[in-house]
């Protein structure tokens, strides 16, 4: 297999607060290949947003600190590059869109101003050409009447339109990787449908790799090629999307899939994962899912399970699948 | 079976002030002539996107907002005209559970008081009896006794929702409005809360109005479902009917926009163009016409009224051959 | 009994100690606190530790400069200024605390009612508050004190009246935002009446803001009270109130600098102490910083 575009190894992130040390990410691995859409799914507190921000070194320090690990992007370790190279990467080679577009768009500048700013920052073009690029991109995201939209302010646009502007802006420099952190969570379902269709289409056409973060398994199933599941700061399972949904190996993944009410089948009562997500301040030793796991046994509460391959492309971190029995 | 709640022709417009002198410039037509009936022991699911007015309907039914027109009958009595003590007496019977676990509990109030005060303000119990009843209700919703002595921030989102439910149930109501109770919760926690809500209904025979924008959740908890769009009900049917044969184009769009958690069932999302419009400038005729993939000429000028297209399956759409003479006259 | 209290208020106790810890680390909080502590200590121990009786006249020693016997010197009747300053602390603090209690209590209730009930009542109350606030505080207090008659208690009432709108405004603002929270709607839905909601939901949520405002206003209060005494409308002779002492000491400022200087210095320190402590407290209690 070719070298992955992004390869995160052994990443640990901690936050130092008055109440104690929050171990937000614990030795996490992740890879994204060129041209693939990787879904990162997990519930509140699992660390997916922290992971996304780590890639661009956006973790506020203090109180946060990347305590170990490496993030290899096109062969370079992002954690070690100098400021100048980091600026080149941000927005240009790796772009990011967020959940709430109102906070990423500056309310006192027009959409046009902001888009042009992004373009002229990274590309050697004059303002006229920049404006043309803006209009092209807005057409790519199926924005009606792009010229008029450029002269509007963010609050004059609806949520769905703002997200499309964000997508257009972040893809205008043709990045290698797009990180999308819950981009449609705040949108109504019909608008979400539109935005996801546009995003899917555009991404395939341009050939951008995507790290798509969401807690919504439906969206993940629709959009992604491969999926990684996180729980309480640990990576618990990674597989091709079809295989993850058809044959989830980790008890948490299995529980999560069972807990969603389904339009198609009767589930009464919904299968429940008992208990609640643990606090990350003094996390339990060993597997963090241990207290809620129905399949737990002896080593689970003492030793952290590592990701092990159970099928080609399918990795699970669970003592049910121990290292020794790994066969390819 | 007698209806516990009957909402008849409810209308609520919110005035918007603007201009130099702060005059009424526009009206936000939040709820525009809604009729609902909820029977004992059943759950009516109210589904729609933001701005459709579903939360306003919930508040109107509980008389937390006075309707501009129409009435709400509770066991036959019109509660919209009640005041003072009579209203307070009715309030014990009609309760609400909110969406946001952050702001639905007073951060400065002990759980014991938060859950117990409905008994005190209604003078239903005092002192030790309150403590006992609080303990009991906390147990029923899956919490411990000691949780009484804590504050909201010490609990997770799911636990706070349980507390909210406990507070709503402690006076032994007949009818509860659930306003997006699980929208702010994680999937695994949502499952717990939904199971709890259904179990409580089975055990005590509560009637529910369950408001949500999530169709899968609505399908899971409701017996009957009403779909709202821009202040009007566009379709209303039993659960099986609605999902087997959705009639209104908007309902169909909602269903197709739903991404299913199964990669084998990938389909084109996003059949609708445009955005969810604002209830301030309401489109003429059928309010859905600007986005409707099956729009016809009359849809632009004439608003369809809700009528029975199949057995107990109501739709407001010209494709099912209904026109509204009164609407035409008043336009 | 104590155990029940501890159980119910466990979290508040924890928060209290946490606040103390944060205050200890903050230099201005510590400095302010030391100053305040000195003043309070002086006030409490005045009768025990003051070297002389503050109103004891000793014409032989009148207007003597600071010395071993009289560290702050003596006034025109030979009374020891140090002792008078110490007793003066008692008076100033008493004024401060009473004014805060009256103004804070009344102001908070007025503000909460105004904010929660809204519309016409809010308009009415706030216009009245605006009228009061449109006067410079000292001038208004002066007018009131003059109308009520020169005495310390009347001065307290006058200053309290002037401070009410500040509390009312602030609490009204908080009430407006608390009013929109869902737990208020829940209370209404459960049948709670407005008065109950104001007492049990709105006021407790405004508590920390009121405390902070109180510490900041305390300094101003003492200053205004001193000014009133300076003019002769507050404390009457022979009461050793700081402002009154400056008033008389003014005449002697050129040659007997100690007379007006020491009380003035103490007023200055007290006001500064409360102000910087209040500032630090405000920062610390800010929920965003508290994480």
Domain boundaries of chain C, sorted by first residue:
89-278
Q: What is the mean pLDDT of chain C?
A: 85
C-alpha distances in angstroms, B284 versus B15, B49, B226, B289, C96?
19, 19, 22, 8, 65
User: Residue B264: which residues within 8 A CB-CB, separation 6 or more?
Assistant: A242, A245, A246
Q: How confident is the model at residue B97 (pLDDT cuts 50, 70, 90)?
A: very high
Cβ neighbours of A21 (radius 10 Å): 16
CB B259 within 8 A of CB A219: yes
Give the nearest chain A residue to B253 (CA atoms): A190
Domain boundary among B117, B152, B172: B172
CATH of the domain at A65: 3.40.50.300
Residues in C touching B65 (Cβ below 8 Å): none
pLDDT tens for residues B194-206? Answer: 999 999 999 999 9
User: What is the domain extent for residue B149?
Assistant: 106-172
Is there a domain that residue A12 lies in? yes
pLDDT tens for residues A48-65? Answer: 889 999 998 888 887 888
Domain boundary among B172, B192, B207: B172
Tell how strand A226-231 and strand A37-41 pair up. parallel
Q: How confident is the model at residue A287 (pLDDT cuts 50, 70, 90)?
A: confident
Q: Do B213 and A190 touch (CB under 8 A)?
A: no
Minimum mean pLDDT range among A183-197, C64-78, C132-146, C202-216: C64-78
Distance CA B114, CA B148 (A): 9
CB B116 within 8 A of CB B134: yes
Same domain as B197, residue B163:
no
Is there a domain that residue A99 lies in? no
Minimum mean pLDDT range among A132-136, A203-207, C14-18, C147-151: C14-18
Provide the pLDDT for residue C288. 55
pLDDT tens for residues A207-243? Answer: 899 999 998 898 999 899 999 999 988 999 999 999 9
Tell how strand A177-181 and strand A209-214 pair up. parallel
Domains held by chain B: number: 2
Cβ neighbours of B237 (radius 10 Å): 26
Same domain as B196, residue B82:
yes
What is the average pLDDT across A290-319? 84
**Cβ-nearest to A190 among B158, B257, B262:** B257
Provide the pLDDT for residue A326. 42
Q: Is C7 on the interface with B (CB under 8 A)?
A: yes
Cβ neighbours of A144 (radius 10 Å): 11
Q: Is B122 on the interface with C (CB under 8 A)?
A: yes
Provide the pLDDT for residue B22. 64
Count CB pairs under 8 A between chains B and C: 72
Counting beta carbons within 10 angstroms of the beta carbon of residue C262, is it exposed (0 to 12), middle (13 to 18) or buried (19 or more)? buried
Is there a domain that residue A79 lies in? yes
Residues in B touching A246 (Cβ below 8 Å): 264
Distance CA A163, CA A170 (A): 10
Is there a domain that residue B185 lies in? yes
Same domain as B132, residue B63:
no
pLDDT tens for residues C186-199? Answer: 998 888 888 999 99
CB C209 within 8 A of CB C171: yes
Minimum mean pLDDT range among A278-282, B33-37, B271-275, C142-146: B271-275
Q: How confident is the model at residue A328 (pLDDT cuts 50, 70, 90)?
A: very low
Asked if residue B329 has pLDDT above 50, the reply is no
B66 min Cα distance to partner chain C (Å): 13
Sheet holding A37-41, edge to edge: A94-97, A177-181, A209-214, A37-41, A226-231, A234-240, A314-316, A308-311
Same domain as B186, residue B154:
no
User: What is the domain extent for residue A279?
Assistant: 6-93+207-325
What's the topology of domain C89-278? MetI-like fold (1.10.3720)
Cis ω for the linkage preceding A269 (within 30 of 0): yes
Counting beta carbons within 10 angstroms of the beta carbon of residue B307, is it exposed (0 to 12), middle (13 to 18) or buried (19 or more)? middle
Asked if residue A268 has pLDDT above 80, the reply is no
Rg (CA), chain B: 21
pLDDT tens for residues C251-280? Answer: 888 888 888 888 888 888 888 888 888 888
Which has more pLDDT, C39 or B45? Answer: B45
What is the average pLDDT across B45-69? 90
Is there a domain that residue B215 lies in? yes
Read out DSSP for A255-312? Answer: HHHHHS--SSS--SSPP---S-PPPSSSPPSS-TTGGG-TT--GGGGTSPPPPEEEET
Same domain as B228, residue B273:
yes
Q: Do B121 and C207 touch (CB under 8 A)?
A: no
Distance CA C35, CA A136 (A): 67
Is there a domain that residue A262 lies in? yes
Q: Which two tokens stand for residue B17?
A: 């002030």
Q: Residue A249's closest CA among A198, A313, A161, A315?
A: A315
- Which residue has tokens 């090629």? A225
Provide the pLDDT for residue C290. 54
Q: How confident is the model at residue B321 (pLDDT cuts 50, 70, 90)?
A: low
What is the average pLDDT across B170-174? 91
What is the average pLDDT across A25-48? 90
Q: Is C200 on the interface with B (CB under 8 A)?
A: yes
CB C74 within 8 A of CB C258: no
Residues in C touching A18 (Cβ below 8 Å): 18, 291
Asked if residue B303 has pLDDT above 80, the reply is yes
What is the average pLDDT across B315-323? 76
CB B173 within 8 A of CB A203: no
Is there a domain that residue A271 lies in? yes
Same domain as B242, residue B200:
yes
Same domain as B135, residue B60:
no
Asked if residue A1 has pLDDT above 60, the reply is no
Domains held by chain A: number: 1
pLDDT tens for residues A60-85? Answer: 887 888 889 999 998 889 888 888 88
Is there a domain that residue A140 lies in? no
Backbone angle region of B142, left / alpha / beta, with phi > 0 → left and psi within -120 to 50 → alpha = left
Distance CA B286, CA B264 (A): 36
What is the average pLDDT across B80-91? 85
Backbone angle region of A74, left / alpha / beta, with phi > 0 → left and psi within -120 to 50 → alpha = left
What is the average pLDDT across C44-72? 80
Backbone angles phi, psi at A29, to 5 degrees: -115, 145
Note the helical H segments in chain B: 54-61, 84-91, 111-121, 127-140, 157-169, 187-204, 215-221, 239-244, 249-257, 297-301, 325-330
Same domain as B133, residue B32:
no
What is the average pLDDT across A304-310? 85
Same domain as B303, residue B163:
no
Same domain as B168, residue B180:
no
CATH of the domain at B269: 3.40.50.300
Helix (H, G, I), strand (E, B) or coil at A1: coil
Give the nearest chain A residue to C21 (CA atoms): A18
Is there a domain that residue B98 lies in? no
Residue % of chain C over a pLDDT of 90: 23
Cβ neighbours of B24 (radius 10 Å): 11
CB B249 within 8 A of CB B227: no
Give the nearest chain A residue to B199 (CA atoms): A269
Chains contacting C (3+ CB pairs below 8 angstroms): A, B
**How many angstroms from the chain centroid is the CA of residue C88?**
15
Q: How confident is the model at residue A324 (pLDDT cuts 50, 70, 90)?
A: low
Same domain as B194, residue B150:
no
A259 min Cα distance to partner chain C (Å): 28
């Amino acid at each position: 297999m070719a070298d992955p575009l992004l390869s995160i190894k052994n990443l640990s992130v901690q936050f130092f607060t008055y109440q104690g040390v929050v171990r937000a990410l614990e030795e996490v691995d992740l890879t994204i290949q060129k041209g693939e859409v990787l879904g990162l799914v997990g519930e509140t507190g699992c660390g997916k947003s922290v992971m996304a921000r780590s890639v661009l070194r956006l973790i506020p320090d203090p109180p946060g600190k990347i305590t170990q690990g490496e993030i290899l992007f096109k062969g370079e370790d992002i954690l070690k590059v100098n400021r100048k190279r980091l600026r080149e990467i941000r927005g240009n080679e790796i772009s990011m869109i967020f959940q709430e577009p109102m906070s990423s768009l500056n309310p006192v500048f027009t959409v046009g101003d902001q888009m042009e700013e992004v373009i002229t920052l990274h590309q050697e073009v004059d303002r006229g050409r920049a404006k043309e690029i803006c209009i092209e991109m807005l057409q790519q995201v199926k924005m009606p009447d792009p010229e008029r939209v450029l002269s509007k302010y963010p609050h004059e646009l609806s949520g769905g339109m703002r997200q499309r502007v964000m997508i257009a802006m972040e893809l205008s420099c043709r990045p290698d990787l797009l990180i999308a952190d819950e981009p449609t969570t705040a949108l109504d379902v019909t608008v979400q449908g539109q935005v996801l269709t546009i995003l899917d289409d555009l991404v395939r056409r341009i050939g951008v790799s995507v790290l798509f973060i969401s807690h919504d398994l439906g969206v993940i199933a629709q959009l992604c090629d491969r999926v990684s599941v996180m729980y309480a700061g640990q990576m618990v399972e990674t597989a091709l999307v079809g295989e993850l949904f058809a044959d989830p190996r980790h008890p948490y993944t299995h529980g999560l899939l069972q807990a969603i009410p389904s339009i198609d089948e009767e589930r009464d009562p919904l299968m429940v994962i008992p208990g609640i997500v643990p606090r990350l301040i003094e996390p339990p030793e060993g597997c963090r899912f241990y207290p809620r796991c129905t399949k737990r046994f002896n080593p689970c509460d003492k030793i952290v399970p590592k990701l092990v391959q159970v099928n080609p492309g399918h990795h699970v971190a669970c003592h049910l699948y121990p290292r020794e029995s790994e066969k390819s | 079976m007698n209806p516990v709640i009957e909402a008849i022709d409810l209308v609520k417009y919110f005035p918007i002030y603007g201009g130099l002198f702060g005059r009424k410039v526009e009206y936000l037509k939040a709820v525009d002539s809604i009729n609902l009936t909820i029977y004992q022991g059943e759950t009516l699911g109210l589904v729609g996107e933001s701005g459709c007015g579903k939360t306003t309907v919930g508040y109107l039914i509980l008389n937390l907002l006075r309707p501009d027109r129409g009435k709400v009958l509770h066991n036959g009595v019109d509660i919209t005209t009640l005041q003072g003590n009579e209203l307070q007496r009715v309030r014990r019977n009609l309760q609400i559970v909110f969406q946001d676990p952050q702001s639905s509990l007073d951060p400065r109030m002990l759980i014991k008081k938060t859950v117990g005060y409905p008994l005190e303000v209604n003078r239903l119990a005092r002192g030790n009896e309150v403590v006992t009843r609080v303990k009991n209700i906390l147990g029923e919703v899956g919490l411990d006794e000691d949780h009484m002595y804590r504050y909201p921030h010490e609990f997770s989102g799911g636990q706070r929702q349980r507390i909210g439910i406990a507070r709503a149930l402690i006076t032994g109501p007949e009818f509860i409005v659930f306003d997006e109770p699980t929208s702010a919760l994680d999937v695994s926690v949502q499952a717990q809360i939904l199971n709890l809500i259904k179990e409580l209904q089975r055990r005590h025979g509560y009637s529910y109005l369950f408001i949500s924008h999530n169709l899968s959740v609505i399908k899971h908890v409701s017996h009957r479902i009403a779909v709202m769009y821009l202040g009007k009900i566009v379709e209303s049917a039993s659960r099986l009917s609605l999902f087997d044969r959705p009639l209104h184009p908007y309902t169909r769009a909602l269903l197709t926009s739903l991404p299913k958690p199964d990669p084998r069932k990938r389909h084109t999302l996003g059949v609708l163009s445009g955005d969810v419009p604002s209830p301030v400038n309401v489109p003429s005729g059928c309010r859905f016409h600007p986005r409707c993939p099956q729009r016809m000429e009359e849809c632009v000028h004439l608003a369809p009224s809700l009528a029975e297209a199949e057995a107990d399956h109501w739709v407001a759409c010209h494709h099912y051959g209904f026109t509204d003479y009164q609407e035409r006259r008043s336009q | 009994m104590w155990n029940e209290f501890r159980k119910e208020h466990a979290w508040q106790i924890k928060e209290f100690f946490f606040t103390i810890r944060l205050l200890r680390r903050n230099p201005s909080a510590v400095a302010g606190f030391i100053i305040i502590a000195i003043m309070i200590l002086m006030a409490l121990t005045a009768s025990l530790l003051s070297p002389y009786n503050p109103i004891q006249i000793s014409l032989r020693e009148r207007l003597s400069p600071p010395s071993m016997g009289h560290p702050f010197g003596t006034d025109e009747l030979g009374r020891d200024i140090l002792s008078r300053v110490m007793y003066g602390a008692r008076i100033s603090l008493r004024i401060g605390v009473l004014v805060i209690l009256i103004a804070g209590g009344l102001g908070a209730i007025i503000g909460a009612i105004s904010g929660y009930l809204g519309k016409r009542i809010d308009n009415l109350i706030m216009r009245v508050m605006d009228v009061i606030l449109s006067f410079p505080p000292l001038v208004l207090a002066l007018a009131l004190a003059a109308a009520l008659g020169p005495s310390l208690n009347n001065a307290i009432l006058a200053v309290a009246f002037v401070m009410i709108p500040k509390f009312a405004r602030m609490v009204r603002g908080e009430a407006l935002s608390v009013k929109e929270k869902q737990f208020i709607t829940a209370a209404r839905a459960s049948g709670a009446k407005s008065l109950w909601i104001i007492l049990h939901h709105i006021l407790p949520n405004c508590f920390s803001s009121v405390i902070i405002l109180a510490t900041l206003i305390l300094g101003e209060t003492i200053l205004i009270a001193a000014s009133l005494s300076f003019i002769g409308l507050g404390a009457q002779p022979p009461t050793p109130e700081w402002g009154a002492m400056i008033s008389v000491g003014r005449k002697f400022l050129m040659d007997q600098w100690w007379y007006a200087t020491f009380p003035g210095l103490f007023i200055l320190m007290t006001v500064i102490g409360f102000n910087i402590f209040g500032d630090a407290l405000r920062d610390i209690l800010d929920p965003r910083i508290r994480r």
